[in-house]
Amino acid sequence: MELLLQFFVWIPLLVFLLVAFVHHSKESLLYKITVSATGIYTFLLLVLATLWGVNNSPALHLKLLILYATDSVEIVLDFYFDWITLAFALVGSILMLLLLVFSRYYLHRDEGYKRFFTTLQFFFLSYSILVFSGNYETLFIGWEFIGICSFLLIGFYRDRYLPVKNSLKVLSVFRLGDISLILVMWMSHHLWHQNITFAQLNDFSLVQQHFSENGAYTVLVSFMIVLAAIIKSAQFPFSSWLPRAMEGPTTSSAIFYGSLSIHIGVFLLLRTYPYWQYSITIQSSVISVGLLTSLIGISIAKVQASVKAQIAYSSVAQIGLMFIEVALGWHTIALFHFAGNAFLRTYQLLVSPSVMSYTIHEMLFSFTPKVPKTQSLLSQRIYNTIYVLSIKEWNMDSFQRFWLWEPFKWLGSRIQVFSFKTTVILQFILHIIALTLTLSNNKQSPAAELISPVYSIIAFFYIVKALSERENAIHAWVSLTGALLLLMFSVTILIPEFTIIQIYIYLSGIIVSFITGMYCLYQIKKLDNDTSLHYYHGHTYNNKKLGFVFLLSCLGLVGLPFTPSFIGIDVMLSHIHMHNTIQIVFLALSFMIIEISALRIYSRLFTGMHKHTYHAMAYRSS
């Protein structure tokens, strides 16, 4: 039965590739391919569930493919199947089938019909990889791809201001969760001294021994897991991104932020529960966050003017209760709660336009004013305070902006005093010095110990400079690539185990993406002689293929899992030791910001309202 697990990844992958080559005018063919494949997927899942149940429901584990292996590092595509996988996969496939049928008519003759179905199929592939994952690396592949799907579907109406702005805003919050998961993989590698699987995490004696031996480090790993789950499931204080993510089509909002994507944090907690269940501190934190989110979510939902925002915060409140159920060990209840909430929110979002129409009709013809109740002065003040805070969404958006992104903007504004020519010359000198030290035999010397973290700090400054760049997109692109080289050198200077082959793997995707991206940028400069990042250019209107190629270049540059650089980054991080605190902190910050910086360039140049008014333009508030 274990061999059957791979088909639940192969089927969505083959369908995604097939749909990508169907002409955009063939709506009926696109629909038939996706619905038929999803139906087959659901049928095979039910067959597997039946066979699995007949055989007393043993946990299934499949080590499918070794992507890279050395004496110290092994990166494996690993799959795992149990009750948690079955619940999430079955709910996901049924909802996907319903959404595809609904979308056939909802998006009929829409300009982005094929783009929507292709992106939705890519999401289903990512979701399948995640729920069937058997280790952190496989889970992270699905996790990253779902984040990119979110970016694409939130900004589906790419000629409008708000969808494009909110897509990057949501991605910036997701990156904090992504880095938390990267740190979990890095620390787990050093604590377990192997590629730990979820099957091993279910070994009670093994995990208990590990917890007793590593103490505070295990609590830190558990905290990072919980932080990633909180962000992905929009728990307090990160709840405000969810209503802003509903700028895409109603169908994508339903499957992403009403049913499946929003529950991934719950899945992560369920999957890793055998690891963090021994920490009372972590359990208490999960319960506290869940309870606080439920109370705040309900209060916000009651006063929102937008129906999507009401549904979003109602869903957030229910997920807060799921967090409590998981922490208390009530996993069966949590799974049923997940299924019920997913179906309910999907239904609510799909019928919301009709409900709004009937509500407006009822308000016009049978409106009854609310009769005010007599309250004490104290009760009235408390009520008014909560009411105002709820309208302001408890200032969560301001909190995130002030504590997470304003410091980077402030730092970037200070770095902008250095000219592009100065930064390029400095990069060239630093690369020559680093290359000399890398080829020398003095690694792990006191000088190397000092220089290595300095390089990671300088790389971080270059990425922040690219994030704050407004004058020239080419300057930002060069700064990002130079920063990635500096990050590599910060490891090669110090770590003799980081071999030439591993350097080639790391650089392969980065160099190809850099060259392709530079070609796209010079094409834009040739067409318009303007690569400023002060405003949106909207070049996708006339240059869809060029925009798509540049998007792939951005994703390849930052090392997403479809390039060899993903393996290179994973290997590079595994070589950094636990005592190199400064280096790992700045590496984590760098990888958190670099994807935002790259996709910001794409958003500014290729999406948004077109800079020339002779094209059709949407209102800024639409």
Please state, as a whole number, how many other Cβ atoms lie within 10 Å of the Cβ of residue 622. Answer: 13
DSSP 158: T
Position 441 scores a pLDDT of: 62
* Distance of alpha carbon 129 from alpha carbon 240, whole angstroms: 27
CA 558 – CA 550 distance, rounded (Å): 13
Write the DSSP symbol of residue 402: I
For residue 135, report the phi and psi dihedrals to the nearest 5 degrees: -150, 175
DSSP string of 46-73, one letter each residue: HHHHHHHHHTT-PPEEEEEEEEEE-SS-
How many angstroms separate the CA atoms of 370 and 385, rounded?
20
**CA proximity to 294, closest of 321, 266, 312:** 321
pLDDT value at residue 159: 84
Determine contact, residues 603/164, Cβ cutoff 8 Å. Answer: yes
**Per-residue confidence (pLDDT) for residue 614, from 0 to 100:** 65
Residue 202: per-residue pLDDT: 85
pLDDT given for residue 615 in this prediction: 64
Bridge partners (DSSP) of residue 60 are 81
- Is residue 75 within 8 Å of residue 66, measured between CB atoms? yes
Report the DSSP pairing between strands 74-81 and 60-69.
Answer: antiparallel
Kindly list the distances between the CA atom of residue 8 and the CA atoms of 12, 48, 85, 117, in Å, as whole numbers in the listed order: 7, 11, 11, 19
Q: What is the pLDDT of residue 442?
A: 60
Q: Return the structure tokens found at 16.
A: 């995604």
Q: Which parts of the chain sit beneath pLDDT 70? A: 374-375, 441-445, 447, 613-622
Q: Which two tokens stand for residue 581?
A: 């605190």
3-class DSSP state of 613: coil
**What torsion, rounded to 10 degrees, do the Cα atoms 104, 107, 108, 112 define?**
-120
Q: Which two tokens stand for residue 534?
A: 């002060």
- How far apart are alpha carbons 465 and 345 in whole angstroms? 41
Handedness of CA 158, 163, 167, 168 (dihedral sign): positive
Residue 12 preceded by cis peptide, ω within 30: no
CA–CA gap between residue 67 and residue 529 (Å, rounded): 43
Q: What's the rounded Cα separation, in Å, for the pair 82 and 201? A: 13
Q: Residue 618 has what pLDDT?
A: 64
CB 293 within 8 A of CB 316: yes
Q: How far apart, in Å, are the Cα atoms of 315 and each of 41, 234, 350, 480?
A: 27, 10, 15, 38
What's the pLDDT at 323? 96
* CA–CA gap between residue 137 and residue 142 (Å, rounded): 9
Q: pLDDT value at position 50? A: 92
Residue 192 tokens read as 């377990």
Tens-digit pLDDT profile for residues 467-485: 998 889 999 999 999 999 9
pTM: 0.93
In angstroms, how far is CA 42 from the centroid of its own chain?
Answer: 25
Q: Dig out the tokens for 281 from the structure.
A: 């501190």
Backbone angles phi, psi at 22, to 5 degrees: -80, 140
Please give the structure tokens belonging to residue 94: 């049924």
Nearest to residue 239, comparing CAs of 195, 181, 304?
304
**How high is the pLDDT of residue 415?**
86
Task: For residues 598 and 473, give the distance between their C-alpha atoms in angstroms, rounded to a whole number.
Answer: 10
The secondary structure of 236-255 as a DSSP string is TTSTTHHHHTTTS-HHHHII
The residues with which 75 forms a beta bridge, in sequence order, are: 68
Tokens of 621: 């508030």
**Tokens 């409590």 sit on residue:** 324
The CA-to-CA distance between both ends of the chain, in Å, stands at 50
Judge whether 316 and 339 are in contact, CB under 8 Å.
Answer: no
With beta carbons less than 8 A apart as the criterion, state whether 487 and 456 touch: yes
pLDDT score recorded for residue 1: 76
- Name the DSSP class of 535: S
- Provide the 8-state DSSP code for 466: H
